[in-house]
Chains A and B, each alone.
Chain A
Amino acid sequence: MGLLDVENLTTYFDILRGEVKAVENISFTVEKGDAFGLAGESGCGKTTTALSILRLLPQNGKVISGEIHFEGKNLLEMNPEKYRKDIRWKKISVIFQGAMNSLNPVMTVGQQISEAILTHENLSKEEALDRAGKLLDLVGIGSERVERYAHELSGGMRQRAIIAMALSSNPSFIIADEPTTALDVIIEAQVLKVIKDLQKKLNIAMAVISHDLSMIAETCDRIGIMYAGKIVERGDIARIYKEPFHPYTKLLLGAFPSILGPIAKLSRISGFPPDLLSPPPGCRFHPRCPYAMDKCGKEDPQSIHIKGEDHFVACHLVE
C-alpha cells in the first residue's frame, strides 16, 4: 500500500444534456517521496481526478464509485470538517496552473501564505508571516517580497510564491496541476528545478498533472497516461517512454518533438477525442486506433500487469 491509493475511481458530471463520464474506473498508487505524472490531452479527466482526491469537484460533479486511500484512510468517507482540518494543505497541498489567477489579486503574497499556516497551526500572525518570509527565501524570491501583490511579481516569481504556499504546512503530498504552463521555457526550467529540488530534499510525494510529456519526463519517476477518462498505461516512466505498449501512448509520445537527436517523423492521430457523454463502447481509443481489432469495439480491455515490471497496460493487443 502506497501513500496514496486510488482504486477504481469513477467521477461523472451532470450537465443538461446528460452525464459526462469524465473519469472511469481508474487506479494508481503514489509511494512516499515519489513523483507520479498524470498525463493526457485536454478533457481526458486528469484534472477531474485531482479534484476528486481534493474533494473540490464543482457542484455538478460526483464520485460515483471507487476509493481513495491516503495514509490508510479512505478520504471519500471522511467527515467533511475533519477532511478540511486534517487533510487539506496539512497533508495534501496543490500547485495550480498559476500564471496569475491562483493568487488573490487584492491580498499580499505574505497574507496568503500565512493564512494557510494559520488555518492549521496555532501561531501568531507575526510567526506565520515570518515563516512565509522563510519559505519565499527557500524558493528563491526573497523574504522581502512578502508584502508584494501578485501583479507586482513576474510570472516566474508568482509561480515560485505559489510553490512556497504549497509547502507552508509541511504536506506529505503535493498535487501540481500544469505547474509551468504559460511560463517561458527558461523560467519553466528554473521553476521545475525548484520543484524537483525541494521535492527530493523534503521527501514529498507529488502528482504532476500535465499535457506535456516532455515536462513530465523531466520531473517524474512514474507515469499514468490517460485517454478519454481512463488510464491506458502506467508504470515506471523510463520503461514506458522506451517501450510503450498501448498504441495511444506510442502515438502521443511520437507526436512530441525533441530538441535532441535526428529529426524523426512526428506521429499523427487521426480523428478527434470522443464525446464523453456517450463514449464509444469497448476500448475508448478504438475508433482512432490504427491497430483496432473486432474485439476492441466490444470488450473493455482490463489493465494487465507486465510480469516482473512496474508496467500496467489496458489493451487487447497485449493479451
Chain B
Amino acid sequence: MEENTVLDVKNLKKYFMVKMGFLKSLLSKEQLYVRAVDGVSFRIGEREIFGLVGESGCGKTTTGRSILRLIEPTSGQVNFKGSDLIKLDPTEMRNMRRRLQIIFQDPYESLNPRMSIYDILAEPLQLQHIAEGPDEIIGLETKVLGEMGLVPPEEFLYRFPHELSGGQRQRVAVARAFIMTPEFVVADEPVSMLDASMRTEVVELILGMVQKLACAFLYITHDIALTRYICNRVGVMYLGQIVELGLTEDIVHHPHHPYTEALLAAVPVPDPTARRREIVIKGEVANPINPPPGCRFHPRCPYAKGRCGKEEPKLSPSGKGRTVACHFPLE
C-alpha cells in the first residue's frame, strides 16, 4: 500500500472569505472565514477507490475540487506521484490536467448542450494534444463509448446531450474522464441523479475502468450504503474535517465515532422488517464560520463530556487501519 500511493493529501485547508461591506470591513478588525475544509489528510493507492462521505455542507465537494485546484486551496499539500500539485505553476498544472480528471453529479449541467458527443469527447483530446486527426479521435471515442456500454458507438457520436437519457448522459460524462487515461479521478456524486436501476451499471463501469487503467479514484458521496459496494476505504466528514477513516466494512458495522454511528442509524434500509434504530442526535449542523470549540460535533453528541467542549480531538489510530477523531471512541 505504502509503495504504490498515488495521491497523498496532507492537512488540506480551504477557507472562503466572508464578504462584508466596505465600511464594515474598515470597522471590524477580524476578517471572517467559512472553514469549508479544515485540515483534511488521506491517501489513495493505485487501483483504489477511496470514499469521502458526509452530509451537504461538510466540505466533501470542496475537498475534491481543491485537490484538483479547480478552486485554489488555502494551504496543505497534495502529493501526486512525486509532485505537490499545490506548488505547480499554471503551465505545469495545465500539463498535469490530462492525468487528473473529474466526473460531476449532474449530467444535465456538465455536458454543453450545444456540443455533439463527438465534440464533447474530442475537446480534451485536442487541448492536451493526445489525438489530432479526426480518424484518431473517432477511434478513441468509439472505443471508450463501447466500454461505457453505449453501443453501437457510431450511433452516439453525432447526437447531442438532449437526445440522450439521464443514464446515457452520465455515461458520456464518465467516458469524457476516462478517454484521457487519467491516473487520478475525482467523482462527485456520479450516480446520485440516476434511477436505482440505472445506477448499478454505471457503478460497475467505473469499477471496471479503475482496474483497467490502474488509476486512483476519489468517490465523493452522501450515500454511505452504496459506498459499501464501491469503496474499500472511506473517510467520514463532518464540518470540514474527517472524523473517522478506515475500511468501509469495519466502519459500517462498528463505527467508532458517535457522528458515524448517528449517520449510519439514520440511513433507511430497504427492508420493512428490519429493526428501526433510534436517531440519537438532535439539532442541525453548526455554522462553519464559527464552528463550536473543541470537538465540532460535541453540541449534538449524546456522549459528550466536559473535555469535548474544550480540547479538539486529533485523528488517532483506533484499531486495525482505522483512525478516529474522538476523545471517547465507541468500542
Q: Chain A residues in contact with chain B, CB under 8 A?
A: 41-42, 154, 156, 184-190, 192-193, 211-215, 217-218, 220, 237-238, 241-242, 251-253, 255-260, 263, 266-270, 272
Given contacts A186-B266, A187-B284, whether A41 and B195 have CB atoms under 8 Å apart is: yes
Residues of B within 8 A of A187 (CB): 284
Q: Verify B199–A255 contact, CB threshold 8 A.
A: yes
Most buried by A among B165, B166, B263, B267: B267
20 new A-B pairs (CB below 8 Å) besides A218-B276, A242-B273? A184-B55, A184-B222, A185-B263, A185-B266, A186-B263, A186-B281, A188-B266, A214-B269, A214-B270, A217-B269, A218-B269, A259-B224, A259-B225, A260-B269, A263-B229, A266-B229, A268-B200, A268-B204, A269-B200, A272-B168
Q: Find residues 145-202 in chain B having any chain A CB closer than 8 Å to their own CB.
A: 165-168, 195-201
Chain A residues closer than 8 Å to B165, beta-carbon distance: 272
User: In the complex where A184-B55, A186-B55, A217-B271 touch, is A42 in contact with B197 (Cβ < 8 A)?
Assistant: no
- CB pair A190 B279 closer than 8 Å: yes
Q: Beyond A41-B195, A213-B196, is A189–B269 a contact (Cβ under 8 Å)?
A: no
Q: Is the interface of B mostly helix, strand, loop or mixed?
A: helix
* A189–B222 CB distance below 8 A: no
Shortest distance in angstroms between A292's beta carbon and chain B's nearest beta carbon? 16
Q: Is there contact, CB below 8 Å, between B196 and A241?
A: no
Instruction: Give every chain A residue within 8 A of B273 (Cβ-Cβ).
Output: 238, 241-242
Contact of A266 with B266 in the complex, beta carbons under 8 Å:
no
Interface centre among B229, B264, B271 (most CB of A within 10 A): B271
Contacts of A190 in B (CB 8 A): 279, 282
A258 contacts B270, CB within 8 Å?
Answer: yes
* Alpha-carbon separation in the docked complex, A242 to B274 (Å): 11
Alpha-carbon distance between A220 and B272 when the two chains are bound, in angstroms: 8
Chain A residues near B228 (CB, 8 Å)?
257, 259, 263
Bound complex: CA of A189 vs CA of B278, how far in Å?
9
Size category of the binding interface on chain B:
35 or more
CA of A212 to CA of B268 in the docked complex: distance in angstroms? 9
Which B residues lie within 8 Å of A267 (CB)? 200
Contacts A154-B284, A259-B264; A266 near B55 (Cβ below 8 A): no
B42 to chain A, nearest CB (A): 22
Closest partner residue, chain A, to B201 (CB atom): A268
A188 to B266, CA, bound (A): 8
Q: Report Cα–Cα, A47/B263, bound state, in Å.
A: 30
B74 at the interface (CB under 8 A from A): no
Give the distance in Å from the alpha carbon of A265 to the alpha carbon of B266 in the complex. 23
B88 at the interface (CB under 8 A from A): no
Contacts of B67 in A (CB 8 A): none
Asked if B270 and A268 make an inter-chain contact with CB atoms under 8 angstroms apart, the answer reads no
B279 touches which of A186, A211, A266 (Cβ 8 Å)? A186
Contacts of A41 in B (CB 8 A): 195-197
Residues of A within 8 A of B201 (CB): 268, 270
A186 touching B200, Cβ below 8 Å: no
Could you mark each residue 218-248 of chain B with 1 if its beta carbon is under 8 Å from any beta carbon of chain A, else 0? 0000111110110000000000000000000
Let me know if B268 and A217 touch, CB within 8 A.
Answer: yes
B195 to chain A, nearest CB (A): 4
Report yes or no: B279 in contact with A156, Cβ–Cβ below 8 A: no
